[in-house]
């Protein structure tokens, strides 16, 4: 089991009704090894993997405790669930105070060294010809795997044949986008960033495997004299940004082979990975402030 729990950005809210404080938090939960198929399988995870448990305090206060929850399948998804926890006052008081910043943390968004991190989770459909388990993908597609560069390595990717006569099936691809906003003083030197654009992480980054995160570039705003706000964008891809491509003849038709143990059926003979972004780099070198968040 490999459970993932992601709190949804902007889902935390606090309100006062008839003199009583209430709060909510929402999470997305999934398991990419063993799909979670029932609400009961979700409720059994309460108190682990970052999911709250009954009575757990709302972040930043001891006067609000988790009391009620709801579980629902995310629309259009078979194994992605939304969990919402509600909090109510469990003791006197009712003042919510944010946790104090770390000694070296900059909390003013206009001051040099300020850091802000935002993330969003998404899922889309891609065409696949082979089904490959997560452990094999990590072992063979990471920076040291045999498929690390995709074509032109010319290795067949193996796995379980799932296409029909060379026609692919749809597979849910999970990605998440991370935006890291920094404030820096000094000269604006955009060319220093160009050497990192469209390159993947050589080492673990944002708690993700080497090769699975790509730097998409940044937007820059001038917010003061010699002071700039940089918004860096990164995207994680569970397939290390590779896509499956079958071998084709000169007319574009997929080379077929008999489907084992299924008389009269065929499938793509050879399937390889295409890696559009073969270059690797140390993404932490984009800015020394990344060491605080990665």
Q: What CATH number is given to the structural domain containing 55?
A: 3.30.70
**Is the pLDDT assigned to residue 97 strictly greater than 50?**
no
Tell me how far CA of residue 221 lies from CA of 108, 168, 212, 231, 257, in angstroms: 16, 44, 28, 9, 55
Q: For residue 95, is it within any domain?
A: no
Question: What pLDDT sits at residue 94?
Answer: 45
Residues 170 and 51 in one domain: no
Question: What pLDDT sits at residue 225?
Answer: 84
Residues 142 and 242 in one domain: yes
**What's the total number of domains in the chain?**
2
Question: What pLDDT sits at residue 244?
Answer: 93
Q: For residue 43, is it within any domain?
A: yes
Look at residues 108, 137, 112 and name the one whose alpha carbon lies nearest to residue 211.
Answer: 137
Q: Mean pLDDT over residues 74-78, rounded?
A: 82
Per-residue model confidence as pLDDT tens digits over 194-205: 999 999 999 999
Residues 211 and 73 in one domain: no
Q: Mean pLDDT over residues 117-134, rounded?
A: 91
Residues 148 and 65 in one domain: no
Q: Which of 89, 124, 151 is the last residue of a domain?
A: 89
**Token code pair at residue 90:** 């469990």
**Is the pLDDT assigned to residue 282 strictly greater than 70?**
yes
Q: For residue 79, is it within any domain?
A: yes
Residues 121 and 249 in one domain: yes
* Residue 73 structural domain: 3-89
Residues 288 and 185 in one domain: yes
Q: For residue 104, is it within any domain?
A: no
Of residues 285 and 9, more confidently modeled: 285
Per-residue model confidence as pLDDT tens digits over 161-181: 999 999 999 999 989 999 999
Look at residues 247, 270, 275 and name the one whose alpha carbon lies nearest to residue 156.
Answer: 270
Render the burial of 39-72: b for 16+ CB within 10 Å, e for the rest: eebbeebbeeeebbeeebebeebebbbbeebebe
Residues 137 and 253 in one domain: yes
**Is the pLDDT assigned to residue 106 strictly greater than 80?**
no
Residues 82 and 119 in one domain: no
Which of the residue ranges 1-5, 114-118, 158-162 would you say has the lowest mean pLDDT?
1-5
Average per-residue pLDDT in the chain? Answer: 86
Residues 120 and 83 in one domain: no
């Amino acid at each position: 089991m490999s459970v993932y729990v992601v709190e949804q950005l902007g889902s935390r809210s606090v309100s006062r009704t008839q003199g009583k404080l209430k709060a909510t938090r929402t999470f997305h939960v999934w398991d990419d090894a063993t799909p979670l198929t029932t609400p009961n399988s979700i409720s059994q995870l309460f108190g682990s993997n970052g999911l709250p448990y009954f009575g757990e305090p709302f972040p930043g206060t001891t006067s609000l405790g988790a009391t009620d929850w709801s579980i629902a399948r995310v629309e259009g998804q078979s194994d992605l669930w939304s969990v919402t926890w509600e909090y109510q006052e469990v003791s006197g008081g009712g003042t919510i105070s944010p946790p104090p910043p770390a000694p070296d943390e900059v909390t003013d968004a206009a001051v040099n060294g300020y850091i802000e991190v935002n993330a969003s989770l998404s899922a889309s459909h891609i065409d696949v010809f082979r089904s490959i388990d997560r452990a094999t993908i990590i072992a063979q597609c990471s920076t040291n795997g045999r498929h690390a560069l995709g074509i032109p390595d010319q290795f067949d990717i193996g796995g379980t044949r799932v296409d029909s006569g060379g026609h692919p099936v749809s597979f849910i691809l999970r990605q998440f986008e991370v935006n890291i906003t920094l404030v820096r003083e000094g000269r604006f030197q955009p060319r220093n960033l160009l050497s990192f654009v469209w390159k993947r992480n050589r080492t673990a980054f944002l708690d993700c495997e080497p090769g699975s995160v790509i730097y998409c570039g940044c937007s820059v705003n001038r917010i003061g004299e010699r002071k700039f706000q940089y918004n860096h964008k990164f995207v994680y891809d569970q397939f290390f940004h590779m896509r499956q491509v079958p071998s084709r003849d000169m007319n574009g038709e997929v080379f077929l082979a008999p489907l084992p143990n299924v008389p009269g059926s065929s499938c793509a003979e050879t399937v390889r990975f295409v890696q559009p972004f073969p270059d690797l780099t140390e993404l932490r070198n984009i800015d020394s402030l990344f060491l605080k968040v990665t």
